[in-house]
Amino acid sequence: MNNNSEWISAGYVTEGVSEKIDLVKEINRLKKEKNAIIMAHYYQVKEIQEIADFVGDSLALAQQAAKTNADIILLAGVFFMGETAKILSPDKKVLVPDLNAGCSLADSCPADAFEAFVKQYPNHEVVTYVNTSAAVKALSDIVVTSTNAVAVINSIPKETPILFGPDRNLGNYLQGLSGREMILWDGACHVHEKFSVEKIAQLKKDHPNALLLAHPECKKPLLIMADFIGSTAALLKYSVENKSKEFIVATEAGIIHQMQKASPEKLFIPAPPMDSTCGCNDCEFMKLNTLQKIYLTLKHEYPEVYVDEDIRLKALKPIERMLDLSAKLKL
């Protein structure tokens, strides 16, 4: 455990770094020296995606964390992703570049309030989205990501009532697709809720051939307009396989790096939020991670993710249930 009080209060290593240091070279050296792996979510800045050993959506990151041989996992994403990696790989050291990289959706579901909510619905299957704290996962029967949510809901016997949390938009979307009524927790992601339907409708007029791709965390009026709805990995796959040359992308703008890399000849337009003059929608938590913080995190092996062992064991069961089902369905 590190005792540097300045780092502890900042939530990351605050040490200055000389401009002469080649961060990419140093990160690669430290990775090798410490047998560390960098796993990055699609919403990271492109420099981080490029230096990562593995880039993926939240399901792929969890799958990778469960099977890596590295001694250290550096998770460049948000805190719940680091926690999920630690739950699955308790013997590894799991590092995150900045402890302040939280998630508004996970924060919209405090464990004590969720526990009281769950108690009101005894007999319900408690299905939670992976964007939650370990303590909320520990209260769950099964975890889902946006890649496997439909398959998980469909795997639950029809006569079993379902309680779903914390994302109301994903929950509504799943109710529509599965035809199952579910008790929903009233949470949301501030990034996906702030896309402007009006500005997107204008963009569609300006680019009549562009297809609108949307993440299911977006609000219903936007999802109704979308040509394709899916997880970040599904949106990327669709953009590669679909013959269209133009796409409007309604999720965090970091994903566009992989889309553009896979299809350099296509045009990807970030969907604009309501309240900004810039054209794209960034998750400020995801964007707290920088190459400099990754370098310092690997150098000092700080900040590290810890999960209480009792909570870890309880949270492990619903995550493993999800991974087993995903493996069976080849997701």
- Chain positions contacting ligand 13P, by CB under 6 A: 57-58, 131, 145-146, 189, 217, 231-232
Q: Would you give the DSSP letter of residue 156?
A: S
Can residue 191 be called a binding residue for ligand SF4 (CB under 6 A)?
Answer: yes
Can residue 146 be called a binding residue for ligand SF4 (CB under 6 A)?
Answer: no
- Nearest distance, CB of residue 253 and ligand SF4, angstroms: 10
Can residue 131 be called a binding residue for ligand SF4 (CB under 6 A)?
Answer: yes
Identify residues 205-224 at the interface with ligand SF4 (CB under 6 A).
none
CA–CA separation, 261 vs 264, rounded Å? 6
Can residue 39 be called a binding residue for ligand SF4 (CB under 6 A)?
Answer: no
CB 148 within 8 A of CB 126: no
CA–CA separation, 252 vs 175, rounded Å? 24
Omega prior to 166 cis, within 30 of 0: yes
- Nearest distance, CB of residue 143 and ligand SF4, angstroms: 15
Q: Which of 57, 102, 100, 55 is nearest to 74 (CA)?
A: 55
- Indicate which of ligand SF4, ligand 13P, none lies near residue 140 (CB less than 5 to 8 Å, by partner kind): none
Of the pair 131, 326, the CB lying nearest ligand SF4 is at 131
Angle, helices 309-328 vs 58-67, to 10°: value is 110
Identify residues 236-255 at the interface with ligand SF4 (CB under 6 A).
252
Burial 226-253 (b: 16+ CB within 10 A, else e): beebbbbbbbbebbeeeeeeebbbbbbb
- Nearest distance, CB of residue 319 and ligand 13P, angstroms: 14
- Nearest distance, CB of residue 287 and ligand 13P, angstroms: 13
Query: Which three-class secondary structure string do you get for 61-94?
Result: HHHHHHHCCCCEEEEECCHHHHHHHHHHCCCCEE
- Nearest distance, CB of residue 110 and ligand 13P, angstroms: 18
- Nearest distance, CB of residue 104 and ligand SF4, angstroms: 4
| Matching residue, tokens 């924060």 | 107
Can residue 285 be called a binding residue for ligand SF4 (CB under 6 A)?
Answer: yes
Can residue 68 be called a binding residue for ligand SF4 (CB under 6 A)?
Answer: no
The residue ranges that bind ligand SF4 (CB under 6 A) are 78, 103-105, 131, 189, 191-192, 252, 283, 285-286
